[in-house]
Structure 1
Amino acid sequence: MTAVRTVLGDLAGADLGVTNSHDHLFFRSALLPGQELDDVAAAEAELRGFADLGGRTVVQWTPFGLGRRAEALPELSRATGVTVVAATGLHRAAHYAPGLVDRVRDRLADLFVGELTKGVLAGDDPDGAVLPFRAGLIKIAGAFHDLDAHARHVLVAAAEAHHSTGAPISVHLEHGTAPLDVLHVLHDSLGVPPQRIILGHLNRSPDLMVHRQVADTGAWLAFDGPSRANHATDWRLPESLVALVAAGHGGQVLLGGDTTTAQARAATGGGPGMRFLLTTLRPRLGHDLGEDQVTRFLVDNPARAFAVDWR
């Protein structure tokens, strides 16, 4: 059955509504000490702020081992009325505490498949209890302008898990780079259909030619992390999306917020948070592209990107 796998069960893609296609309710990285997203009440406040503006679904890309607080996700979804999709997968090695990656390196595909078909592991423990809900996507990562040995190893495991389950694969592109390298490995070498690959952070490297090359393969293009002044985000985003729509690729674009630190939350941290996607980005893009096209980015495209034929 074609469905989106959420923390409250499988759901038809058409039921997602307005979707934040890449964000984080909980996140802990060795590269961001002291900036953890680990407060359940703050996560609830952020979801309520998003819901108050018409937001209906948040896809959390936090993978295994980075403080997902998976046990809190179902109750947060029930309390706020916001659908939540959880991720399995593995990020760049630099994000992890020493030793954790080594514990799972040789069983990644089994770990991913287990979280997609049996249940997400509690406490980010590879030998921990299995929670009574399943992940809905595999989150992995490339490297800066290349694919290092860690990235290639994880890509192989993600492809194996995809072929076993049908799950979509979302990819953190480091500073938006190397999307074609990722596609070469996942699709050309490992046989993952481009329609099941979601490439994140393309806004951070606003190379219109590369965007067009990626789109021509049929992959999904995620533009996420708005309002980050140190990246080429808001001020270049309309140009990138106008070009993709003009080339006939408006049906492949996803939008997300990618909140990764407590300070970036709108509800409790003073940052743009999830609200920014609807309060600022949506009307801005609507001015340049029309409301129908922006609705396509926020509603129609996620309904197809995250709904798969589960095996």
Structure 2
Amino acid sequence: MDPGELGVCDAHDHLFLRSPQLPGQELEDASAARAELAAFRAVGGGSVVQWTPYGMGRRVADLPLLSRATGVHVVCATGLHQVAHYRPELLERLRGGLAGTFVSELTEGIGPSGVRAGLVKVAGGFHGLDAHARWTMTAAAEAHRATGAPIAVHLEMGTGALDVLDLLCGELGVEPHRIVLGHLNRSPDLTIQRQAAGTGAYLAFDGPSRAHHATDWRMPDAVRALADAGFGDRLLIGGDTVVAGARSVDGGPGMPYLLRRVRPRLAVELGEELVGRVFRENPARAFAVEWR
């Protein structure tokens, strides 16, 4: 599809997610996912980028059904999260062939579903990069070079942005504008944020979040500071719903909150014209796949 057809985009969220780090809080209910997408559509939502990577319960076969039923475009991810989210035997099976797995899911499709991923999601560590992060990011860079797909990066507690860029751009040759850095709002260091944006990378601010609520209220100030510094075209906004209780249909803020409350709040800081670009034009550029 043409990137311009994304419409109003939730640039970082999850319809399905499962991890041993979140026992009993899995996002696995397809009916609830459909209701959440429908609620997002009802307040003007046009697309959702699901950052759930390989091995974490993506429910890929359900995504086209949900998209058609609700009229919301859904972008699926390949990639690999931090080591703590996986069984050792699963990671061992991927040794020696991780980049090939990413490329296959981007070009041939994921399993029998045939659904092609649209981005590679990887993750850094807390204020640094361990061997697992370097392995996954090296594979992500190889897959990017083979396919043109963007790379989305989970920054642990919002830290390590410059280390990630040093590796992906400096050592592995990925162009910064093909990288989306997630969770920078969780470490509200305006200097680091400006440095990251200055490379040309995209910055994805997300929330609201119980775990990181202490930084949620700082987000409007951060995006205004970045816009004032000339980086309004680098900003993305997402909801990052990772547990069932965070869905609007289960009593949480969920995806609709992004447009019902976060968007108007940002309009106070940025103005309607720039907010419109943050939700439409920026994600259309950031998630475009430059097929090789």
**TM-score (normalizing by structure 2):** 0.98
- Structure ranking higher in helix proportion: 2
Partner secondary structure for residue 74 of structure 1 = helix
Residue 288 of structure 2 corresponds to which residue in structure 1?
307
**Partner Cα separation in structure 1 for residue 54 and residue 274 of structure 2:** 34
Partner secondary structure for residue 275 of structure 1 = helix
**Partner Cα separation in structure 1 for residue 214 and residue 148 of structure 2:** 33
Residue 169 of structure 1 corresponds to which residue in structure 2?
151
C-alpha displacement of 1:309: 1.6
Q: What does the per-residue CA deviation read over 1:65-105, in whole Å, with 9 as the maximum and x for residues that have no partner?
A: 00000010000000000000000000001012342112113
Match for 2:2 among 5, 12, 16? 12
Does residue 238 of the first structure (1) align with residue 228 of the second (2)? no
Which residues of structure 2 form unaligned runs of 5+? none
Does residue 43 of the first structure (1) align with residue 29 of the second (2)? no
Opposite residue 147 of structure 1, the aligned amino acid is L
Partner secondary structure for residue 111 of structure 1 = helix
Residue 106 of structure 1 corresponds to which residue in structure 2?
96
Q: What does the per-residue CA deviation read over 1:208-256, in whole Å, with 9 as the maximum and x for residues that have no partner?
A: 0000000110000000122436344331011101110000000000000
**Partner Cα separation in structure 2 for residue 204 and residue 231 of structure 1:** 9
Residue 97 of structure 1 corresponds to which residue in structure 2?
87
Opposite residue 271 of structure 1, the aligned amino acid is G
Partner secondary structure for residue 203 of structure 2 = strand
Partner secondary structure for residue 271 of structure 1 = coil
**TM-score (normalizing by structure 1):** 0.92
Which residues of structure 1 form unaligned runs of 5+? 1-10, 122-129
- Percent of counterpart pairs with the same letter? 62
Kindly indicate whether the alpha-carbon contact (under 8 Å) linking 1:202 and 1:211 is maintained by their aligned counterparts in 2: yes
Matches within 5 A, 1:136-155: 136-155=118-137
Q: What does the per-residue CA deviation read over 1:254-289, in whole Å, with 9 as the maximum and x for residues that have no partner?
A: 00000000011001x211100110111011111121
Partner secondary structure for residue 215 of structure 2 = coil
**Partner Cα separation in structure 1 for residue 91 and residue 189 of structure 2:** 32
Pair 260,220 (structure 1): closer, same or farther in 2 beyond 3 Å: same
Kindly indicate whether the alpha-carbon contact (under 8 Å) linking 1:175 and 1:201 is maintained by their aligned counterparts in 2: yes
**Partner Cα separation in structure 1 for residue 147 and residue 281 of structure 2:** 23
Residue 6 of structure 1 corresponds to which residue in structure 2?
none
Kindly indicate whether the alpha-carbon contact (under 8 Å) linking 2:126 and 2:156 is maintained by their aligned counterparts in 1: yes
Residue 66 of structure 2 corresponds to which residue in structure 1?
76
**Partner Cα separation in structure 1 for residue 190 and residue 228 of structure 2:** 12
Residue 65 of structure 1 corresponds to which residue in structure 2?
55
Partner secondary structure for residue 245 of structure 2 = helix
Kindly indicate whether the alpha-carbon contact (under 8 Å) linking 1:30 and 1:97 is maintained by their aligned counterparts in 2: no
Residue 21 of structure 1 corresponds to which residue in structure 2?
11
Residue 116 of structure 2 corresponds to which residue in structure 1?
134
Match for 1:179 among 161, 173, 187? 161
Residue 275 of structure 1 corresponds to which residue in structure 2?
256
**Partner Cα separation in structure 2 for residue 179 and residue 29 of structure 1:** 24
Figure out how many residues of one structure are paired with residues of the other and give that number: 292
**Mean Cα deviation higher: 76-85 or 230-239:** 230-239
Q: What does the per-residue CA deviation read over 1:144-174, in whole Å, with 9 as the maximum and x for residues that have no partner?
A: 1000010001010000000000000000000
**Partner Cα separation in structure 1 for residue 95 and residue 168 of structure 2:** 18
Kindly indicate whether the alpha-carbon contact (under 8 Å) linking 1:205 and 1:232 is maintained by their aligned counterparts in 2: no
Match for 1:156 among 138, 157, 162? 138
